[in-house]
Chain A
Amino acid sequence: MTASTWIEGTLALFFILSGCGFILSATVRDKYSVQVIAYISALCSSLMMFASAATLATGGSFEATLWNLQGLGLLQVRLDMFSAIFLFAAGLVYLPASFFVRNFLRQRFGGRYPARRYGALHFALMASVVLILIANDAALFLISWECMSILCYLLVNYEQNRRTDTRAGFILLAMSEAGFLAVVIAFLIVGKAASDWSFPALAAAAVHLSRPAAWGVFLLGFLGFGVKAGLVPVNFWLPRCYTAAPSIFVPILAGVTLNLGFYGIVRLNVDLASSHGFGTGLFALLTGGVTALVGILYATTDNDMKTMLAHSSIENAGIIVAGVGASLVFRASGYAAPAAIALTAALYHMVNHSVYKTLLFQGVGDIEAVTGTRDMDRLGGLARVFPALSVVFLVGCLSISAVPPFNGFVSEWLTLQSLLRSAVLFSPGVKILFALCGASLALTAALAVTCFVKVYAMSFLGIKRGAWDPNVRRNVGRFQFPAAYLAVACLLLGVLPTFVIPALNRAVEPLVGASAATSLVPQFFTATQSNGQLPAPFLADFHNLGAQVGQHVLPGRGLVVLHRGGPENPVVFAMSPSYSLVALALFLFLTWLIVTRSTRKRSLTRNELWAGGIPRLLPEMTYTATGFSNPVRVVFQAIFRPNIVEDTRDTVAVHFRTAILRRRDETHLVDRLFFHPVGDAVTWIARLLAGMHHGRLNAYIAYTVGFLLIILFLFRLS
Chain B
Amino acid sequence: MTAPGSPMLSPERVDFDGLTAAVQERFSAVVSISRADKGVALSLLLRDPESLPPLSLFLYWEIGCSFGGLVVEEIAQNWRLSYLFLAPRSGWVSVVLEFPLGNNSVPSITAVVHAADWHEREAEDLFGLKFENHPRLGDFILHDQIWPEGAAPHRKPQRKSVDVHQPHLRRRPNPNWRPLLVVQDPGSFAMPVGPVYEGGIGESLHFILETVGEDVLRAAPRLFYKFRGVEKIAEGVPVSQVLLLSERFAATSSFAHSLAFSSAIEKICGVEVPPRALQLRVVLAELERLRHHAGAITGICESTVLAVAASQAAIIEEELLRASCRLTGHRYLFGLNKPGGICRDFTSDDFRDLLIAVDLAVDQLRILEDRLHFTSSFLDRLEDVGVVDLNKARDLNLLGPVGRASGRCHDLRRECPYGGYEQYQFEIPRENEGDGYARLRVLFAEAAQSAILLRQAIDTLQPGSVSAPCEATHSGAALGWAEAPIGAALHWVRLDASGLVERYRVITPSFNNWLGFHVAVEDFAFQDFPIILATFALSATECDR
Contacts and interface: CB of A to CB of B under 8 A. Distances in A.
B111 A630 contact: no
B238 interface: no
B194 A613 contact: yes
Interface stretch (A280-288, A437-445, A585-593, A654-662): A654-662
A242 to B, nearest CB: 21
A499 to B, nearest CB: 44
A661 B2 CA distance: 24
A618 interface: yes
A620 interface: yes
B524 interface: no
B192 A627 contact: no
B189 A621 contact: yes
Contacts of B173: 615
Interface string B196-211: 1010000000100011
Interface string A610-643: 0111111110111111111111011000000000
B192 A660 contact: no
Contacts of A377: 186-187
A621 B194 CA distance: 13
A624 B187 contact: yes
B181 A631 contact: no
Given A620-B181, A653-B114, A627 B189 contact: yes
Interface string B138-178: 00000001000000000000000000000000000111011
B4 interface: no
Interface in B207-241: 210-214, 217-218
Interface residues on B, range: 35 or more
A663 interface: yes
Nearest to B134: A652
A634 B218 contact: no
Contact of B214 (A616, A634, A663): A634
Contacts of A617: 192
Contact of B213 (A611, A631, A651): A631
A618 B179 CA distance: 9
B178 A618 contact: yes
Contacts of A624: 187-189, 213
B145 A660 contact: no
Nearest to B1: A652
Given A656-B135, A661-B184, A627 B212 contact: yes
B212 A612 contact: no
B195 A613 contact: yes
A660 B194 contact: no
B182 to A, nearest CB: 5
Given A621-B191, A624-B187, A627-B189, A652 B212 contact: no
B9 interface: no
A630 B213 contact: yes
Contact of A652 (B111, B183, B519): B111
Contacts of B134: 652
B175 A615 contact: yes
A661 B185 contact: yes
A454 to B, nearest CB: 11
Contact of A627 (B3, B133, B213): B213
A655 B191 CA distance: 20
A626 B194 contact: no
A628 B187 CA distance: 10
B135 A651 contact: yes
B427 to A, nearest CB: 32
Contacts of A611: 192
A375 B184 CA distance: 16
Nearest to B193: A612
A616 B174 CA distance: 10
B360 to A, nearest CB: 40
A617 B189 CA distance: 12
Contact of A662 (B136, B183, B214): B183
Interface residues of A, number: 38
A655 B396 contact: yes
B110 interface: yes
Contacts of B206: 612, 614
B213 A629 contact: yes
A620 B184 CA distance: 12
A621 B206 CA distance: 13
Contact of A630 (B181, B195, B212, B396): B212
B190 interface: yes
B114 A620 contact: no
Contacts of B191: 621
Given A612-B195, A614-B192, A626-B186, A653 B211 contact: no
A401 interface: no
Nearest to B110: A652
A653 B2 contact: yes
B183 to A, nearest CB: 5
A142 B111 CA distance: 74
Contacts of B187: 303, 377, 624-627, 630
Nearest to B518: A655
B189 A662 contact: no
A91 B273 CA distance: 99
A663 B185 contact: yes
A507 to B, nearest CB: 45
A620 B217 CA distance: 15
B144 to A, nearest CB: 11
Nearest to B194: A612
A618 B190 CA distance: 9
Contacts of B213: 624, 626-631, 633
A653 B192 contact: no
B396 A621 contact: no
B182 A660 contact: yes
A660 B196 contact: no
A662 B111 contact: no
Given A614-B195, A652-B133, A622 B189 contact: yes
Interface in A657-687: 657-664
B184 A655 contact: no
A73 to B, nearest CB: 57
B185 A612 contact: no
A320 B188 CA distance: 36
B190 A659 contact: no
A656 B173 CA distance: 28
Contacts of B178: 618, 620
Contacts of A656: 117, 135-136
Contacts of A626: 185-188, 212-213
Contacts of B110: 652-653
A652 B192 contact: no
Interface in A368-404: 375, 377
B320 to A, nearest CB: 33
B214 A659 contact: no
Interface string A60-74: 000000000000000
Interface string A61-92: 00000000000000000000000000000000
Interface string B457-495: 000000000000000000000000000000000000000
13 contacts: A611-B192, A614-B195, A615-B173, A615-B174, A615-B175, A624-B189, A624-B213, A652-B110, A652-B111, A652-B134, A657-B182, A658-B135, A663-B185
Q: What 5 A-B pairs have minimum CB-CB distances, sorted nearest first?
A: A626-B187, A630-B213, A627-B213, A655-B519, A662-B185
Interface of B: 2-3, 110-111, 114, 117, 133-136, 145, 173-175, 177-179, 181-196, 198, 206, 210-214, 217-218, 395-396, 519
Given A612-B196, A624-B188, A626-B185, 7 more contacts: A612-B193, A626-B212, A629-B213, A634-B214, A656-B136, A659-B183, A664-B185
